[in-house]
Amino acid sequence: MLRRRDAGYALAWIPAEVDRSGSIADIATSHTSPPLFHSNSHNPQVRFSPQSYVSHNNHYRTKLEEIQLKMTSTFARVWRFLQLPFAILWRAVLVRLPWLVPLPILHFTSPKGPHPFILYLPSRSQHLIPIYVFLPVDWSGELIPVLVDYHGGSFIMGSCLEQAPFCAMVARETKRVVISVDYSLGPLDQFPKAIEDAEDVLNAVLNVGKAGRALRDGIMRYLGKHGRIDVGQEVLLDTKRIAISGFSSGGNLALNLALNVPELNWPSLLSNQPSSEPLPLLLFYPSFDSRLMEYERPLLGKPQEPSAAYSIDAILSPTYLPKDKRSHLRASPGLVHTKNIVPNAKILLILPEIDTLAQQSEVWVRKMEEEGNDKNLTVERIKGIYHGWTQFPDFFLDSNARAQKVVIMRKTMEFLRKNTTA
């Protein structure tokens, strides 16, 4: 449907699709602008300075033009949404109701912070990708590592807000920039749109093109607005110290990003990362194999009730991933030979017991072992815990689930520190 517009506490929205012919005032600069950054994409010290930023303001669209553009695009997207069959329409509205939750909820669900601000990055497909950016409180101005995070939701639902406690913890405890990606979902968008969005955001982190410039400008503006950066002070993003996390379907995206698939002429953007630098890959109950839909997968070794075939997930999921594409290697990355995972990946796999994805996860673990690629794999199995529990607010969890969540988050932070060079 629509996307949250800004990091303020008002409920404002903008569409996912915007005309690519011009820039958006909140994010992008003109192609004719003088360069702010080093052009070498392999240089880890990507620099930008507040002194250079002022000259770019003259290239922004006027506010009136921006409002007109956003309104036109919003109406067009709403119109497309309203043309969906009613059986799809009402279910899509229902699963998007959590998007109406205002950002102040984070004062309760993530009280320690830091809280995010939202930027919009241009993509390859003429739309803007919303990202939630979490910055460590004690910004030092030194080279700072980055984690890119992808939420779950079967590619039809889910929100970056549910990721906020985890992302804030990573930013707070490991002193890195965390970017949570609000990637495209069904029924308005179809496979492989989510993967393309995931790659486009990672590319913005690794390289200074149009999207990379938008990302860095936005971070700089936020720091300047809040008095957290001095005029003339440089901010450095360390493009060597990268980590990726994904939850459920977001884990599918995270693994996708770390794979080279020669059968598809599909190189990973991370292939050029130095092999000496570990790549932490945090996979929380990921989707490895999409050939079976959720209601077709066994739970605790037993078939599910026939009524599961009429669930919202069963109705909406094919609007993103049609049946004839479920076995595609990008839709089911667990089918790819594990030798194609980038060699510096250090994988942490979190597997709760009560999960329809548990069986395929164990199949993938055995595959890693049989193909001799399990030396960089750490598996944490949690008995008696259900899928998605880490993303639920604590007041929805029983005492055992809360305790297990604390343990897993502590192990995750330790894993990140261990696999990030100083």
Q: Would you state the pLDDT for residue 249?
A: 97
Q: What was the pLDDT predicted at 221?
A: 87
Q: For residues 379 and 334, what is the distance between their CA atoms, to the nearest angstrom?
A: 15
pLDDT of residue 220: 87
Query: d(Cα 268, Cα 206) in Å, to the nearest integer?
Result: 12
Residue with tokens 């240089």: 43
Residues of the chain falling short of pLDDT 50: 1-63, 66
Angstrom distance (rounded) from CA 405 to CA 360: 22
Query: Cβ(3)–Cβ(16) under 8 Å?
Result: yes
The pLDDT of residue 227 is: 81
pLDDT in tens, 315-360: 899 999 999 999 999 999 999 999 999 999 999 999 999 999 999 9
- How far is residue 154's CA from residue 151's CA, in Å, rounded to a whole number? 10
Total domain count for the chain? 1
CATH number, domain of 243, equals 3.40.50.1820
The pLDDT score that the predictor gives to residue 141 is 66
What pairing do the DSSP bridges indicate for beta strands 144-150 and 377-386?
Answer: unpaired
pLDDT at 184: 93
Greatest C-alpha distance within the chain: 64
Nearest-angstrom CA–CA distance, 201 and 220: 17
Supply the range of the domain harboring residue 232.
Answer: 3-418
Segment (H or E) for 173: helix 164-174
- The answer to whether residues 380 and 412 touch, using CB atoms and an 8 Å cutoff, is no
